[in-house]
Structure 1
Amino acid sequence: MCTAINFLNQQHENVFGRTMDFHYILDPRLAVFPAGSTWENTLGRQLTDRYAVAGISRHFKNLYVLFDGVNEKGLAGGALYFKGYADFPPFSQQSGKAQVPALDFLHYVLGLCASLDDLRELLADITLVGLQDKLTGTVAPLHWIFTDLSGKSLVVEQIKQGLNAYENPVGVLTNSPDFPWQMTNLRSYIGAAPEQTEQADWGGFRMEPFGQAAGTSVLPGGYTPPARFVRTAFQKLHMVQPETMQEAVIAGFHILEGVTLPNGVVKTANGTFDYTQYTSMIDLPNKVYYFKTYENPQIIRVDLKPVWASGEQTVRDLGSIHVPIRYGTME
């Protein structure tokens, strides 16, 4: 269960963000891959990045599995759960196309593509395959959202019928059902509006609304993927457009607060709880990562440019994104 968004500020600068909701403790870490660096995919093969990449990831031995990330060209993306719909063919020695494990797809794209146009071309030349995730013991059912400096957004979904790429006019993604269904479902809430309902007349019986926000009463509650998709799309598309990038980053965090899961409100079938382990926002033109965690709601800022410019071509694990809460100077 996750939610992702992207939008432009008044300077036409794009920002991308997501919540990471999961029931396993992920221990997310910020990893940096300079241009030309080599990394190992889940097939045990060595790949080299054309462009510098950074992302929040799970680090296990030699493997870095990215949950979200950005590259030096301003292409960003995130992987989200797509249970019940994702369908990946198994790895085959006879395949004529490059086979990319689903867990590696986000990093693979960011390492090779400078834009959404590059991504569209890449999709014609690859096959997404499913490999068992060592954390859950299953083939992770994933789909992806990507965005670049243009502010446009693309959703990539592999289902039983094949690989699909959808233009995303609302810049929002959650989980299942598939993206076309989510877009159709938005029409059920066409009456939602920021304006107030001043009065209703039922056959001569007049009623006044309770205070403000009567125009939003039709929006869905709960934390299901369709409910989160609708609420997030409504908030994102009706907010006052931020003027600066700093305002955009803050606005993004506020929007995602509306779909943040406290630990305990969503219980899984095996008795664990889905909760928002972290929320991230990325300033695409300036290549700056922002994040906060469940344990620490303070926003942490990481400028990626100096790390990429170090001249090294080795992967760098910058450490866990869990940062202790402190105030002022502590001896």
Structure 2
Amino acid sequence: MCTAINFLDQANETVFGRTMDFYAILDPHLVSFPAGASWETMLGQTLADQYGVGGIGRHAQHRYVLFDGVNEMGLAGGALYFKGYADFPQPSKHSGQVQLSALDFLHYALGSCASLDDIRERLADLTLVGIQDGLTGTVAPMHWMFTDLSGRGLVVEQTALGLHIYENPVGVLTNSPDFPWQMTNLRNYLGVAPEQTEQVDWNGLQMEPFGQAGGTSALPGGYTPPARFVRTVFQKLHMVPPKGIEEAVVAGFHILEGVTLPNGVVKTANGTFDYTQYTAMIDLGQKVYYFKTYENPQVIQVDMKPLWKSKEKVVQDLGSIQTSIFYGHLR
């Protein structure tokens, strides 16, 4: 369970954001790979990043699997769970295309693509295959959302019907069902509006609304992927457009707060709890990460550009960043 967003501020600066919701402890790390850095894929291939890449991910099998990230060209994206719909073939020695594990696709895209159009071109020569994830013991069912400096959004999904690449006109992605279904489902909420409901007359019975927000009463309030998709699209498309990048980052955090999961409210079949382990926003123009963890709501800012100047990858455990949850005290 995760939610991702992208949008422009009034100065046409792009931000990308996401919640990372999962039932297993991910131990997330911030990782920076400079341009030219080599890394090993799940299939044992050695690849070199054309562009500097920075992202949040976890250490798995002697490598870092990225959950979200940005590159030095201003391309950003995130991987989200797509259970019940994602379908990846097993690796084959007889494939005529380059094969890449779905777990490696985000890093590959950020390391080799400068724009959404580049992603489309790269995917034409790729076969995304399924590799068992050591954390869950299953083939990780992923789909992806990307954005670049243009502010456009792209969704990449592979199902039993094949690979699908969709333009994302709403700048939101959650989980299952597939993206076209989520877009169609929005039509069930045509009556939702930010305006207040007027007084009504039911055959002589006069009724007035309670307070404000009567126009939003039909919004779904649960944490299912369709409910989060509808709620986030409504909030994102009706917010006051941020004037600049700082306002955009703050607005992004506010929108994502509407779908964050407290630990304990979503219980899985194995008795664990899905909860929001971190929330991140990215300024694509300046390549600056902003994130906060479940344990500490204080927002941490990291400029990726100086890290890319290092010849080695830089790793920072998000859990080890100890800052006060209080900014200051009134006296």
TM range (shorter): over 0.9
- Structure 2 residue 14 is matched with structure 1 residue 21: no
User: 1:185-242: CA deviations, max 9, x gaps?
Assistant: 0000011100111211111211100000000001011100000000000000000000
TM-superposed deviation, 1:323? 2.5
TM-superposed deviation, 1:267? 0.3
- Structure 2 residue 215 is matched with structure 1 residue 215: yes
User: 1:253-292: CA deviations, max 9, x gaps?
Assistant: 0000000000000000000000000000000000000000
CA distance 1:15–1:321, change in 2 (3 Å) = farther
Structure-2 residue corresponding to 1:237: 237
- Structure 2 residue 301 is matched with structure 1 residue 317: no
SS in 1 for 2:4: strand
Structure-1 residue corresponding to 2:266: 266
User: 1:2-56: CA deviations, max 9, x gaps?
Assistant: 0000000000000000000000000000000000000111112211000000000
Give me the whole-angstrom Cα distance separating, in 1, the residues matched to 2:155 and 2:168. Answer: 6
TM-score scaled by length of structure 1: 0.97
Structure 1 unpaired stretches of 5+: none
Structure-1 residue corresponding to 2:81: 81
**Cα contact 1:56–1:69 (8 A) shared by 2:** yes
**Cα contact 1:296–1:323 (8 A) shared by 2:** no
> Sequence identity of aligned pairs in percent?
72
Give me the whole-angstrom Cα distance separating, in 2, the residues matched to 1:144 and 1:307. Answer: 25
**Cα contact 1:99–1:126 (8 A) shared by 2:** yes
Matches within 5 A, 1:87-236: 87-236=87-236
CA distance 1:152–1:321, change in 2 (3 Å) = farther
User: 1:38-94: CA deviations, max 9, x gaps?
Assistant: 011111221100000000010135211000000000000000000000000000011
Give me the whole-angstrom Cα distance separating, in 2, the residues matched to 1:172 and 1:61. Answer: 31
Runs of 4+ in structure 1 displaced over 4 angstroms?
A: none
Structure 2 unpaired stretches of 5+: none
**Cα contact 1:295–1:322 (8 A) shared by 2:** no
TM-superposed deviation, 1:318? 2.5
SS in 2 for 1:297: coil
Structure-2 residue corresponding to 1:47: 47
What number of residue pairs does the alignment pair up? 327
SS in 2 for 1:298: coil
**Which amino acid letter does the alignment assign opposite residue 316 of structure 1?**
V
TM-superposed deviation, 1:325? 3.6
**Cα contact 1:38–1:315 (8 A) shared by 2:** no
Give me the whole-angstrom Cα distance separating, in 2, the residues matched to 1:324 and 1:224. Answer: 32
**Cα contact 1:293–1:322 (8 A) shared by 2:** no
Matches within 5 A, 1:244-259: 244-259=244-259
**Cα contact 1:296–1:322 (8 A) shared by 2:** no
SS in 1 for 2:193: coil
SS in 2 for 1:79: strand
CA distance 1:285–1:195, change in 2 (3 Å) = same
**Which amino acid letter does the alignment assign opposite residue 323 of structure 1?**
I
SS in 2 for 1:68: strand
